[in-house]
Each structure stands twice: as structure tokens, then as C-alpha cells.
Chain A
Amino acid sequence: EAEVAQSPRYKITEKSQAVAFWCDPISGHATLYWYRQILGQGPELLVQFQDESVVDDSQLPKDRFSAERLKGVDSTLKIQPAELGDSAMYLCASSDRDRAVKLFFGSGTQLSVL
């Protein structure tokens, strides 16, 4: 069964350092999402792509976060500089055009900022 791939699974970094997360959606899925999930809370959308275009980045802290999906396939989310409050699970999800309601999530990247 096709899955959304994310790497790394775990990342420990010191505050003020730069970190990057990678996501490879299910093949053929046009829509890609990055969500952040703080421990004990539900995921919150950071950015949504349709192909290579940003559809919604209203909740992305643009002073330190950036995201790209250059060829409309895989995507990278970057944080620079990382802050203590960025410690969370970063989840990538994808969906296809015909069944946009059904999101498939990856296993996430657990970030710890020390």
C-alpha cells in the first residue's frame, strides 16, 4: 500500500540552528499539506500546496519557516532559526484531486529543540 514518506523520523537540534524536513507524497497526489502537532493537541495546518503552488500558508510563521514543492512532487519544510517552542511533531499529508476529503498522513518528524 502506498504511503507518505517523511524523513528524518526524529530530529534533535539546539535553538538558533536550522532544520529541514522532507516529505514524499503518494504518487499522483496533487495536494500536499504540512501540519504541526504539539503534544496533547490536534494537528494544525502550516501550509498547503496544490501541485507546486501554495494554496494556504496563513498559519506559517514566515519569519522563520519556509516551504517549497519545486516540481510539484516532494516537499521540504525548513525552520531557521529554530526556537524552543518549535518542538513538536511535523506531519506531512497528501490527497488526490478526485478524493480531496481523504488525507493520507505520513508518520511525521518529531522535532526536539534544546
Chain B
Amino acid sequence: QKEVEQDPGPLSVPEGAIVSLNCTYSNSAFQYFMWYRQYSRKGPELLMYTYSSGNKEDGRFTAQVDKSSKYISLFIRDSQPSDSATYLCAMSQAAGNKLTFGGGTRVLVKP
């Protein structure tokens, strides 16, 4: 069993819909939780990170962490075709430590 599990999708939504993504993990030592966006043939780009449990909002993006359930989520409001990409969750035990990634969820936002 992988340390971080993520539904591979693809997840197809109409433009303007809310995109809901999530990951589960098994290692309770993880303290930092990140979401990366990766376009085809490009490197991942950090969208947001959260320390420990709680919510964080940045524009159309909201990240939630529930350490008691070992479950993290990313919500994208008012989705746009330009949001079509693969979204990767990642986690680490401390700042500067290696990241453990989920397998990524492919998202397609249709005009």
C-alpha cells in the first residue's frame, strides 16, 4: 500500500463547476501538505501548502487538512478550461524534507 493515495481520475467537469480533489495518507508524521498543478510535459507548480490541520484559501483555491482522518482536499471554485491539468498532492514530515507525492488526478474542465 502506498503512503499517499490519490484517485487518478480523469475528472471531467463543465466550466464554472467546483472541482473537488482529495488524498488519503497513512503516515501520521506528515506535517506539511501541498498541492501541485502539473501541465502536460511540464514540471509541477506549487499551488498551496498547509501546515498541520485546518483550511487555507487563496483566490479560487481552498485546501483542507484533517489529520485525524488522514485526509486532505483541494477545491477549485469557478473552474476554467485553463485549470485542466494533473493535480498532485504531496506531503512531508518537516520543511526541507523529501516530499511524498500521490499519483495525481487528471482534471478536464470543458468549455
Partner-B contacts on A (CB < 8 A): 4, 31, 33, 40-45, 48, 56, 91, 93, 95, 100-108, 110
Contact = CB atoms under 8 A, between A and B. Distances in A.
B49 interface: yes
B34 A101 contact: yes
B45 A42 contact: no
Contact of B102 (A33, A42, A100, A105): A42
Contacts of A43: 44, 88, 99, 101
Nearest to A105: B43
B54 interface: no
B32 interface: yes
Contacts of A108: 41-43
Contacts of B8: 40
Given A31-B96, A43-B88, A101-B92, 8 more contacts: A41-B103, A44-B101, A45-B99, A93-B43, A100-B96, A101-B96, A106-B43, A108-B42
